[in-house]
Amino acid sequence: MEPILSVEELSVRISGLHILQGVSFTVAPTGVTVLLGRNGVGKTTTLRAIVGLTPPAGEVRGTIRMGAQSLLARPTHRLVRGGLGYVPEDRCVFAGLTVAENLRLAERRGTTPAYDKVFALFPELDRRGRQRAGSLSGGQQQMLAIGRVLLNDNRLLLVDEPTKGLAPKVVTEVAEVLERVAESVPVLLVEQNLAVVRRLARDAVVLAAGKVAWTGDAHELLLETALTKSLLGVGSAEVATPSARSELASPAAAREDQL
Amino acid sequence: MGTVILLALTGLGLAALYFLVASGLSLVFGLADVLNFAHGLFLGVGAYGTWWAAGNLPGAGPDGFGFVLAVAFGVAAGTLVAILVELVLIRPLYSRTIEQVLVTVGLSLAGVALLQATWGADARPFPRPDWTRQVTGIFGAQVPNGGLLLIIAAVLVLGAILAFLRWTRYGLVIRAGVENREMVTALGIDVRKAFTLVFAIGGAAAALAGALGGVYFGTVSPGQGGSLLIFAFIVVVIGGMGSVVGSAYAAVVVGLVQQFVNYYGTSGLGDICVVGLLAVVLLLRPQGIAGKVATA
């Protein structure tokens, strides 16, 4: 299968720092590909370079293609209109706008926004339409940030640390939603919670010191204690604690456990 | 009592003038992060455009519908100049702050020089309807009609801007862009169109301030925009960058303080008090009255 996204020799310098030093990887046209690595290795920088949000003072080199289309040097709003959905780290909802206004802002001219789909996934957004987004809880804000992107058809979703700072129950809800979303659109996910990674990801790309240190099957990676220890700084015991496992186990996995 | 009412209403007239200049300045800074020192030029173009149209434009004149036409011409000229400044000079310099400041300061100086070269450095009498030279009795105070006209115009402009921000798609984009411009683009919106629009709105409001300021002061001069711009910047900072409502509150405070202190204290002391007020706000509430929110 042709990858939906291919990144070749991506190099990013910002304010004299050489953050990405020739990163190459591909994203499969289905399922979740997870971008892993310790703090500060350039995961968010990679997503932002793909969606054209490198700061003006930064320098980006290399090749980024979605299908046959080159993404580099195209303005962000055109990339997004072309089907590249982006859910940023820290949600970035518009605190002074209501939930309904946040969603309305994401509507694209000439398309029918999929409110039914969004409200089916996040019924709370429908109920809280008139509430200011700044007064929502962290979990609700994350739902709004994801819901905003799902209003439109996307060819690829870039999702940056969607479970960061959320309560365990909300982490499970977000993981469930992403699992359902990934059934219809490929996702490139940056995630630190390895229990979520274990549940969602099929492929993994691990960054270290601004370069790709490992690519392959996500579950294989998480089973390799020495590898996860050296690349991510955690042992397999931390990949999914018993509590996290029970909370994050997919229904299918739970049924297998019962059998 | 009559004196207090007169001072209050003339102070509000001054506040109205500051608000008309500051509202656009605040939106431009809040959305586009551009500190536009050339904003006073839009005021000058509006004032001279109205002055020129009243004497030369067919159908325009100093009275009745002719005056409305002259003001409309002045506002259109100020808006056009604002749009051109954004498209030609500011757009290539977004995210280059130093260059922006240099260009807008240079443009401001060049604009004043151009007005001086064309129509001379001296103040010229401003064509205005006779009723604006008269006064209206309000609770014993004889209030100049020119000041009342400014207050009414500012209230209408405030209402129109708030309605625009609250009820239109572009208003929504501007309110969101003031909070997080990058995220607006990440939702597939070309935020540069909103930049041009806020320049146009700001240019129109400043040009209207120029036209009505001519009525208020009775004269028009090349340096008028620059001197008003200083107080407009103070209003923007006190009100909160990007907040139209904050600018309105701050303009009222600045206008009243200036008027009352200048009358009951020494002439000029009001201006010093306003600068003192700015310092207090910067120390105690640096984000201003409303913070960085395009309120609707």
What is the average pLDDT score of chain B? 92
Strands (E) located in chain A:
5-14, 17-27, 32-36, 59-66, 69-70, 84-87, 156-160, 187-190, 201-208, 211-217
> Residue B81's domain is classified under what CATH number?
1.10.3470
Interface test with B, best of A14, A51, A74, A77 (most B CBs within 10 A): A77
For chain A, what are the domain ranges?
Answer: 5-258
Supply the pLDDT for residue A239.
Answer: 52
Q: How far apart are CA B130 and CA B145, in angstroms?
A: 10
pLDDT in tens, B199-246: 999 999 999 999 999 999 999 999 888 888 999 999 999 999 889 999
Instruction: With beta carbons under 8 A apart, name residues in chain A contacting B182.
Output: 53
Q: Verify whether the Cβ–Cβ distance A148 to B185 is below 8 Å.
A: no
Instruction: With beta carbons under 8 A apart, name residues in chain B contacting A51.
Output: 186
- ipTM computed for the complex: 0.87
- Are A169 and A247 in contact by the 8 Å Cβ rule? The answer is yes
pLDDT one digit per residue (tens) for chain A, 259 residues: 789 999 999 999 998 899 999 999 999 999 999 999 998 899 999 999 999 999 888 999 999 999 889 999 899 999 999 999 999 998 999 999 999 999 999 998 888 999 999 999 999 999 999 999 999 999 999 999 999 999 999 999 999 999 998 999 999 999 999 999 999 999 999 999 999 999 999 999 999 989 999 999 999 999 888 888 888 887 655 554 444 444 454 444 433 333 2
Supply the pLDDT for residue A258.
Answer: 31
Q: Verify whether the Cβ–Cβ distance A94 to B95 is below 8 Å.
A: no
All residues at 6 or more sequence positions from B48 whose CB lies less than 8 Å from its CB, including other chains: B74, B115, B119, B210, B220
Predicted TM-score (pTM) of this structure:
0.87
Specify the DSSP element, H or E, that contains B36. Answer: none
- pLDDT for residue B32 is more than 80: yes
Q: Which two tokens stand for residue A99?
A: 């939930």
pLDDT in tens, B43-82: 999 999 999 999 999 998 888 999 999 999 999 999 999 9
- pLDDT for residue B153 is more than 80: yes
Instruction: With beta carbons under 8 A apart, name residues in chain A contacting B168.
Output: none
Query: Is residue B293 domain-resident?
Result: no
Query: Is residue B271 domain-resident?
Result: yes
For residue B127, what is the DSSP state?
A: P
For residue B126, what is the DSSP state?
A: P
Query: Is residue B114 domain-resident?
Result: yes
Could you tell me the residue range of the domain that residue B135 belongs to? 2-284
Pick the closest to residue B216 from B69, B4, B11, B78 (CA basis).
B11
Q: How far apart are CA A44 and CA A88, in angstroms?
A: 9
Number of structural domains found in chain B: 1
B259 pLDDT band, cuts 50/70/90, is very high
Q: Which residue has the higher pLDDT, A157 or B96?
A: A157
Supply the pLDDT for residue B224.
Answer: 87
| A5-258 fold | Rossmann fold (3.40.50)
- pLDDT for residue B191 is more than 50: yes
Q: How far apart are CA B121 and CA B13, in angstroms?
A: 26
Supply the pLDDT for residue A224.
Answer: 85
Query: Is residue B245 domain-resident?
Result: yes
The sign of the CA dihedral B132, B137, B139, B140 is positive
What mean pLDDT comes out for the span B185-200? 94
Q: Is A180 on the interface with B (CB under 8 A)?
A: no
Q: How far apart are CA B27 and CA B242, in angstroms?
A: 5
All residues at 6 or more sequence positions from B103 whose CB lies less than 8 Å from its CB, including other chains: B38, B89, B90, B93
Q: How far apart are CA A155 and CA A188, in angstroms?
A: 11
- Are B154 and B19 in contact by the 8 Å Cβ rule? The answer is yes
What mean pLDDT comes out for the span B177-194? 93
CA torsion, points A159, A84, A23, A37, in degrees to nearest 10?
0
Supply the pLDDT for residue A249.
Answer: 45
Q: How far apart are CA B208 and CA B154, in angstroms?
A: 9
Q: Verify whether the Cβ–Cβ distance B187 to A106 is below 8 Å.
A: yes
Instruction: With beta carbons under 8 A apart, name residues in chain B contacting A53.
Output: 182, 185-186
Q: Is A199 on the interface with B (CB under 8 A)?
A: no
What b-and-e string marks burial along B232-247, b requiring 16 or more CB atoms within 10 Å of the CB? bbbbbbbbbbbbbbbb
Q: How far apart are CA A53 and CA A45, in angstroms?
A: 9
